[in-house]
Each structure stands twice: as structure tokens, then as C-alpha cells.
Structure 1
């Protein structure tokens, strides 16, 4: 790495340079795209950087300290590069972006200028515009635990530690009846309690929407028909015969953690935390002020 940097600096120091910019976008599903403003395709790091995509970027705004670095990238929408339906489906949300200054005569001589993620992405008139956010963007997020009665963990994450791949906590289904990419219905669903998947998630396993998911708002059983309703529609076409996976839901209460998941040891809430009314309560012997546990 140091030899590559020294070679790049030596090339820049000559005053007669053969430099171009290259960008690599890595989506959260692992798909990679390479772009360059050079007039020919380049390749390094196992990625092809394509020249015919029309991608360009404004000047990188970089700084020391904790301020946020940012820039914007512009490019053409093409089936071979960035497609409008992929943007609409949200496949580029949070994608990692890396940008280099590259000696196109010797691609081993390059300098990374920017590393971050895609923020807001817009498209119009056959082109897209992506806001690029630097690594310090993550410092804008509030960190630390929140003291509240419900659990603060996400079911199955590193703090919850529950294994959702256990039998009984997921089911794979073939789509049969779908309404507006948001409501799914089945007549032969299986032996799951009513509302078992409420507050869970639906993952699309196959078809044009493969890799996308939605949060489950309602899980109802009426007249032998199981209806799963999402909070928002899946932003890509879903057809009958596509496969989906339903994951069990959690309402974040201590009783649910104990009785449904047997995972109370990892409960991340404070069920006995007194509410605001406790501050105004007067001592009395007939009804002890216990804090009103939501067990």
C-alpha cells in the first residue's frame, strides 16, 4: 500500500499527469458497480469501472474533525448500469461508495479520495442524482441506551440474540393472492396462532423483488383466510409464485419475551420503571406505588 501511494505521489509530482476518477458502489445485497470519467473502461480490485455511464461528481468536500464530508454524483440511468426500478425499489439505499484518483496509464497508482454511503437519491429525465455522505455521517446518530419499559432490541439482533431460524418462528410461502404489493392472503397457511407474525417482517426470496423486505403491520385470521398486511408496499413487482419468508413478530413486552420466545435473559427493557405519574404520587398504605410493571 505504501509503495502504491509513493508511486502515485511521484506521478503527480511530475506535473504531467494521466489522472481520472473512479467510483465503486457496493449495495447492501453485495452487488457492485464501477464507474469512471475516463474515456475507456478500467479494471482494478476485481471490479470493472465503466466509461459509458456518464457518471460525474462535484468537488469533494472533505475536512478534519467531526464535521460531515459530502458531495453529489450524477449519472445516466441505463439497463447496464443504474436502473430506475432498482432506485425505486430502494436497492441503493445505504450503499457504500468509494472514490479514487487513478492514473489510467497504470491503475495500481491510485489514491482514495472519498469513502462513505449513499444518502438521498433522486431520478428524473433519464438521469440520477445521488447524495454521498462521508463516514462521519454516522456520528450524527444518537448513541447509548434508552431507559424505557419496552425492549429496545430488534428481534434477532446482537442484543436480542434470539435465533429466528428455529422451527415455528418462520415460514416460507408461495405468493397466491396479493393486493397493492402490501396485503398478502393465503387459504392454506399452517398452524400458527392469530397475530403470530404481527410486528415481524416479510422477506422476498425470489422474483423481481428478491432481497427486499417489509415490516408486518397486521396478521389476521378470518374465515379460514390468513391476511398479512405490511406498513408500506414492497417497492418492486411481486407476482404469484414468488417466494416469501415470514418471520415472527415481537411487541417488545416482558411477557412476550418470556412466554413466546423464552428469551427473558436478553430482555433489553426496564418493565418496572415508574411512569411520570409516580412523581406526583403521595405515599399511601392501601395501594403501594410499585411502578406499574407491564408484565
Structure 2
């Protein structure tokens, strides 16, 4: 059942309506942006909803089993919407955003609003100086997500997250971040490499690394994986593409990452009690399945035991 304000319900029953839809996008940091299907801007509950020719509310439909019958909605934000820019999308500032769509009487906004649907913003793309949000996923989609996991020799946790969840790690990474400043950029390499200062104290035993940018065009909350770090020379080789070019003077933070093996979890981070993997699963000899090795695994066992296959879904 929908909670429809009485005044708006009376307007719907009148047979002659002046309705439009309002789409509100709320970013993870609390910032909000709005668009409307009307041909003029609307101020509603403290937020301005801008008229957008590219905003198509489509048909919001789902059946009793919560199967999505269509794309839930489609929206397009160009530079005409104050506050939303292509650079924001490229930096990942729209990641983790939520949306809500309501129906209002634009002639009398005091009637209140009818909530049509809401949920998570899915894929975000950019093209021709325009931000596209082709996936507006309903909250009902969360009910279709699998609960549980597949057995794995390596850890399934997200490194640096609190331990009290299915993917929680338990390691506090705040003290692992080391600030650095870009002093030189090598543009001749096939992969992006740059020199930074102040990383001589980084542990040399780490096999994986993450960087986050604190200034420059790439500043965001995203953690980018790097391929290699030479703490002696200060050279970093980027493996994940960056949305913008690295420039001298850009500031970043770098820390070692976890390779998801039990030995590193136990010996490096003393976090083996929170290890979210099954490191004792027997595995086959490396010669049995060439090229199918698992990080941290050792041969000598069998990929099957008396209870069946070594990987089971819970």
C-alpha cells in the first residue's frame, strides 16, 4: 500500500490533474540534486528540481516476486544541473548514491508528495560532457542479492573494514597511510608511473598497495590499486586507470594492502581470528590443473574430500 496524502488523493480522483515527477539524487556525503519531468524548475521541500529534457521516468514496475520488469528509470544529468559535473562522476563522487522519485501536483505543492519508488544508483557513465545514470535500481533489488558465500581458500573480507559483517576485516588501516607528494611524472611508459617523496619508510615485504588522492584532479574517496612500489626510488606504477592525468605537486596517501592469504593475515596483521576464508580446504596438485593455482595454496591434497567438492555454497 502507498501512503498518499488526502489532498493529493482528492486531486488524483478529480479526473483532471496537474502532476509531474520529481527525481532526487542523494550522494553518499549528503549532497542532493533534483530533476523534474516538468518543463520548468520546481522548488519542493528546500530542494530545486531542474527541468531536464533528457530525464525520462520510464515505467516503474515490479511484480510480487520483486523481479524487475524494466530498467526502473532513466535519467540524464548534463552541465545544466548546477552542482553535478562530469568531473564528479569521473572521480567517483556519484558512487553509492541513492535516488527517490515522487509524484506531486506542481500547481499546489502543499498537497504533499506520493513516493513512487526509491533505491540505489547503479552504473554511472560519462560521454560528450554529459553524465548518464541509466540504472536506477529499486530497493527491492536488495532482496534478490545472495546471502552467504562460496568457500574460498583466500579471504573474502574487504581489507580495512570493521569485523562485524560478512565482509568485515577487522584491521584498522588508519595508521598505515603514509602521505606523499608527486615530484615527477613519466608519460613515456605504457603504464602510468610517477615519482613521489617520503615513502622510504614503507614496508618492503608488502605485495599489494593502495593509493588515495588528496589533492589535484583525481581527489576522491576511491582507493586505487598500484602494480608496484619502489620505496628506495619513490617510483609508483599505477595499475588502475586514473580519470585524470597525474601532475607534479599532487598529494596522495599510500598504504600496503592485503593479499588475502591466511599467512599474511596471521603474521603481518595478527588478524587470523577474523580471517574469512577456508584456508584448510584440500586442493589438487598444481600439475593436475596447470594455470589454476590459488594464491596462498599449496599442493599435495585433493580437490575433493569425502563430503564432496571443496567449494560449497552456503
Alignment TM-score > 0.5, same fold: yes
Indicate which of 257, 264, 282 corresponds to 1:256.
264
Taking structure 1 as reference, are residues 103 and 204 closer, same or farther at Cα in structure 2, changes over 3 Å only? same
Match of 1:208 in 2: 217
CA distance in 2, matches of 1:107, 1:245: 49
The partner residue of 1:243 within 251, 276, 282 is 251
Residue 172 of structure 2 is matched in structure 1 by: 163
With the length of structure 2 as denominator, give the TM-score of the two structures: 0.75
Q: CA offsets, 1:58-117, max 9 Å, x none?
A: 422311322025234243521635433333444334432211111222155111212123
Mapping for residues 41-80 of structure 1, pairs under 5 Å = 41-51=41-51, 53-63=52-62, 64-68=64-68, 70-75=71-76, 77-78=78-79, 80=82
1:137 and 1:95 map into 2 onto residues whose CA distance is 15
Q: Secondary structure at the match of 1:136?
A: helix
Q: List runs of 5+ in structure 2 lacking aligned partners.
A: 163-167, 286-300, 305-309
Provide the aligned C-alpha RMSD in A.
3.1
Does the 8 A contact of 1:25 with 1:32 survive in 2?
A: yes
Once residues 247 and 110 of structure 2 are traced to their aligned partners in structure 1, the CA distance between those partners, rounded to angstroms, is 44
Aligned length: 277
Structure 1 length-normalised TM: 0.79
Question: Could you list the runs of 4 or more consecutive aligned residues of structure 1 that deviate by over 6 angstroms after TM superposition?
Answer: none
**Is the contact made by 1:60 and 1:114 (CA closer than 8 Å) also made in structure 2?**
no
5+ residue gaps in structure 1? 282-290
1:134 positional shift: 2.0
User: Of 81, 94, 105, which aligns to 1:92?
Assistant: 94
Q: Do structure 1's residue 185 and structure 2's residue 191 form an aligned pair?
A: no
> Matches of 2:85 and 2:179 in 1, distance apart?
29
Q: Does 1:151 align with 2:155?
A: yes
Native 8 Å contact 1:26 1:96 kept in 2:
yes
